[in-house]
Amino acid sequence: MSDRILCKFFVHGSCLKGEICEYSHDSKNPVNNVCTFYQKGICLYGSRCRYHHVTTTPASNLPPSPPLTSDSESESTNLQQQDNNDIEKSSNVYCIHPREYPICSFAAAGDCPRGNHCPHMHGDLCTTCGKKCLHPFRPEEREEHTKECEKKQKHIEALKQSQDIECSVCLDRILSKPTPGERKFGLLTECDHPFCIQCIRNWRSSAPVSGMDVNSTLRACPICRKLSYFVVPSVVWYSSPDEKKEIIDIYKAKLRSIDCKHFNFGNGNCPFGASCFYKHAYSDGHLEEVVLRHLGSQEGETVIADNLRLSEFLGGLQIF
């Protein structure tokens, strides 16, 4: 009887097994009231835990720990191994690896008012967003968060810098426009003058006055009159040519995923042909193959031929 361990539930006066309990109900027996979670590194109850938070078991029933090397990395792997051994040994005991525990949601959203007294695990501080949201035991999640956070931060910074930029047409600050749809820049590919998307599109689509050369007026930048063939919408302004290229590439990639309404799955005819930004795919999913026909023009220049139809030749024939 004396070699038996005192029943934990009996100590708290709540053992339901009574006489048939396999643990000792004799209060003289040594108590094994050590928190196994704390020994493994983390106990979610913290200071409110009913069990003792000591690192060594008083009974010292555990096998002697393997010798530790000075290398911290091997130390952690050793601990890991020990952990695994423990889990294997006590497979019938309810035990969860700390990575399975969620972190305190208050801390993850900023800071936890309970501080050190919080029963939940607190994440490590993310230096980018200043929130304690990095899970200490989930490295892949940490990495993902850090990446995401840096991306967000970059976006916010770009937005801040874009805040004061005015459109030269409406003379308003583009990001201070009343509706969200208007708070967009219209990037011209060939120059770096900022406009709001609404203004530059309005200008480019306005009806040409007689005698007006469309390429040197409507399609040109209103400020420097440099010809740009298309306008790219963007919620932020760029600060380097690389950023501009990235914005344009993302926009083009997005358009390429949308089916061209002129092409209409092969049933229509797109006036933009091979230079169309939209997707030219047939209804079975395969993409249109682009074959350009180069013709030598009379002036000796090479021109790209439009789609020619036999009927156009036959229609011009006169049969005698």
Partner 1 sequence: MIDYGRVQKELVDCEKNKDASGVRVSPKSDNLTRLTGTIPGPIGTPYEGGTFQIDITIPEDYPFEPPKMQFSTKVWHPNISSQSGAICLDILKDQWSPALTLKTALVSIQALLSAPEPKDPQDAVVAEQYIKNYQVFVSTARYWTETFAKNSSLAEKVRKLVEMGFGEAQVRSAIESSGGDENVALEKLCSG
Give the footprint of partner 1 on this chain (CB under 8 A). Answer: 168-172, 193, 199, 202-203, 206, 209-213, 217, 220, 222-223, 225
Q: Which of 224, 303 has the CB closer to partner 1?
A: 224
Instruction: Work out how close the CB of 142 gets to partner 1 at its nearest, in angstroms, rounded to a whole number.
Output: 48
CA angle, 243 then 240 then 201, to 5°: 65
Instruction: Work out how close the CB of 193 gets to partner 1 at its nearest, in angstroms, rounded to a whole number.
Output: 8
Q: Which of 209, 317 has the CB closer to partner 1?
A: 209
Tracing tokens 């005192």 back to the chain, one arrives at 6
Question: Cα separation of 254 and 270, whole Å?
Answer: 18
Helix (H, G, I), strand (E, B) or coil at 153: helix
Is the separation of the CB atoms in 120 and 132 below 8 Å? no
Instruction: Work out how close the CB of 301 gets to partner 1 at its nearest, in angstroms, rounded to a whole number.
Output: 29
CA angle, 41 then 47 then 49, to 5°: 80
Question: Cα separation of 218 and 188, whole Å?
Answer: 12
DSSP E strand stretches across the chain:
185-188, 231-234, 293-296, 302-305
First to last CA, the chain: 125
Reference 102, options 50, 42, 55; nearest CA is: 42
Residue 115 is encoded by which pair of tokens?
């501080």
Instruction: Work out how close the CB of 170 gets to partner 1 at its nearest, in angstroms, rounded to a whole number.
Output: 5
CA angle, 18 then 22 then 24, to 5°: 75
Q: Which of 143, 213 has the CB closer to partner 1?
A: 213
Q: Which of 135, 219 has the CB closer to partner 1?
A: 219
Q: Which of 56, 215 has the CB closer to partner 1?
A: 215
Please report the sign of the dihedral spanned by the C-alpha atoms of residue 220, residue 221, residue 227, residue 231.
Answer: negative
Q: Which of 15, 218 has the CB closer to partner 1?
A: 218
Q: What are phi and psi of 264, to 5 degrees?
A: 50, 55
Instruction: Work out how close the CB of 196 gets to partner 1 at its nearest, in angstroms, rounded to a whole number.
Output: 11
Q: Which of 6, 199 has the CB closer to partner 1?
A: 199
Instruction: Work out how close the CB of 199 gets to partner 1 at its nearest, in angstroms, rounded to a whole number.
Output: 7
Q: Which of 225, 252 has the CB closer to partner 1?
A: 225
Q: What are phi and psi of 258, to 5 degrees?
A: -100, 135
Instruction: Work out how close the CB of 215 gets to partner 1 at its nearest, in angstroms, rounded to a whole number.
Output: 13
Instruction: Work out how close the CB of 175 gets to partner 1 at its nearest, in angstroms, rounded to a whole number.
Output: 16
